[in-house]
Amino acid sequence: MTFRTETLKAFFSGLLSGVSEPSRTSVALFLAIPAVLLLLLPLVVTPGTMAGPLADLFCWGDDDTYCSLTSRALRLAEADPSVPRVVVVGGSITGTMFRERPLADAYARVTGDSVEVDVFTGGRMTFWEMEAIADLLPDGATGVLLLVVGPSRFTRNAAELDTISSSPRLALDEDLNRERADHGLPPLRLSGNYFIDNRRFFSPRLRNAFPNLVFPVHPRPRDYTVEEPLGEKEWEELADNVVERFRRWPAEHRWNGDIVRQTVQEVRDRTDMEVVLVDHTINPRFREERMTDAFSTEYHEYIDALASETGVRLLIADTLIHASERDYYDWGHIRNAAVRDTLSARIGTYLGRVALSREE
């Protein structure tokens, strides 16, 4: 008993001394830990890692949808191409328009076949990011790709291309150099290593790995069905902001359209997927108060021409539902779950008919 107490006393006395005094062991260790871990990252963090559950370690929090989008998009790349799927890509309004189950059920009722539905949406997603996700469709994939567009999406400018490539929200190893060159931006230097080429995505996120190990995060899209519509003051501010974006339409819409053309062409070249352009929902109040007839007409004529030129179908989501101002959170995000489910089901029915017409 005495022997054990003495031993413990000596051990803890030594422990105290080891903790309080610098030593070669501690110095070597604390220099080696950052060095070894930083050197290991390019070897350990691969698309495979990001496609798995470890991806959540790099997320900012439960609202970091682009982090989980990266993970899901990389999983899509590994999906079985022979399984038909409906892949939806678009911004945050798109996220409030689609629910997987009603869409898949409606599709199955028309065709008698089941279909996988994958919805990839994120706040203010650009066409470059949509193209990067579409690039991950496996070669020979079957089904339908829905590219969801809207007037705001066509107003993104070259400054945003610089931002999304120098501080990316997605880590998809997408080479944006071709688009950068088209807009007079200097090329990015690429190494061929996934982690190094996406270091701008990872560098701010790596520190999240420590807290996320202890308190895991599970990012998911914002649920607008639990939100009340915006108050009058917020509505006016947001509507002003959206109209301000529309002012960039004359200068920016053509080359944004070029990215859509390019995406459609690349998907056609590599897969057997049908591409459908979907014009997203807009609150009738916003349409009435903030969109001039001239702008609405020009926008619709443009996307109509874009669909015709590229040979894809165009679906105007607002023609499939009868929604009122209160069914929306703001200018386009649907907050009424019943409206969203109806819209998803009607789009599923439409896609089912498209699938049947292709078979005939």
Partner 1 sequence: MRSDAARDPFLLGKMAGAVGQGLVIGFLLLYIILRILGTQSAQFLFRYEGF
Cα separation, 144 vs 190, whole angstroms: 32
**Smallest gap from residue 354 Cβ to partner 1 (A):** 29
Residue from the set 12, 182, 190, 227 that interacts with partner 1 by CB under 8 A? 12
Cα separation, 348 vs 338, whole angstroms: 15
Cα separation, 188 vs 107, whole angstroms: 42
Q: Provide the 3-class DSSP secondary structure of residue 211.
A: helix
Q: Does 7 bind partner 1 (CB under 8 A)?
A: yes
Q: Does 243 bind partner 1 (CB under 8 A)?
A: no
Element (H, E) at 8: helix 2-20
| DSSP per residue, 219-262 | -----GGGPPPPPHHHHHHHHHHHHHHHTTHHHHHHHHHHHHHH
Residue 87 β-bridge partners? 118, 145
**Smallest gap from residue 160 Cβ to partner 1 (A):** 9
Q: Which amino acid is at 82?
A: S
**Dihedral sign for Cα atoms in the order 350, 353, 358, 359:** positive
**Smallest gap from residue 19 Cβ to partner 1 (A):** 4
Q: Does 254 bind partner 1 (CB under 8 A)?
A: no
Residue from the set 46, 157, 163, 193 that interacts with partner 1 by CB under 8 A? 163
**Smallest gap from residue 82 Cβ to partner 1 (A):** 36
7 Cβ contact partners less than 8 Å away, ≥ 6 residues apart: none
Q: Does 157 bind partner 1 (CB under 8 A)?
A: no
Each residue 259-298 as x (binds partner 1 by CB under 8 A) or -, in order, gives ----------------------------------------
Residue closer to partner 1 by CB (options 143, 332) is 332
Q: Which of residues 58-97 bind partner 1 (CB under 8 A)?
A: 60, 63, 91-93
**Smallest gap from residue 347 Cβ to partner 1 (A):** 21
Cα separation, 71 vs 82, whole angstroms: 21
- Maximum C-alpha span of the chain: 94
Q: Which of residues 311-340 bind partner 1 (CB under 8 A)?
A: 330, 333
Tokens matching residue 60 = 């900012």
Cβ-contact 97, 280 below 8 angstroms: yes
Each residue 15-54 as x (binds partner 1 by CB under 8 A) or -, in order, gives xxxxxx-xx-xxxxxxxxxx--xx----------------
Q: Count the residues in the chain.
A: 360
Residue closer to partner 1 by CB (options 14, 53) is 14
Tokens matching residue 223 = 């649920």
Which range of residues in 202-210, 228-236, 281-289, 352-360 is near partner 1 by CB under 8 A?
202-210
Residue closer to partner 1 by CB (options 66, 299) is 66
**Smallest gap from residue 237 Cβ to partner 1 (A):** 13
The residues of the shown chain that bind partner 1, judged by CB under 8 A, are 7-8, 10-20, 22-23, 25-34, 37-38, 60, 63, 91-93, 123-124, 163, 167, 169, 200, 203-207, 210, 330, 333
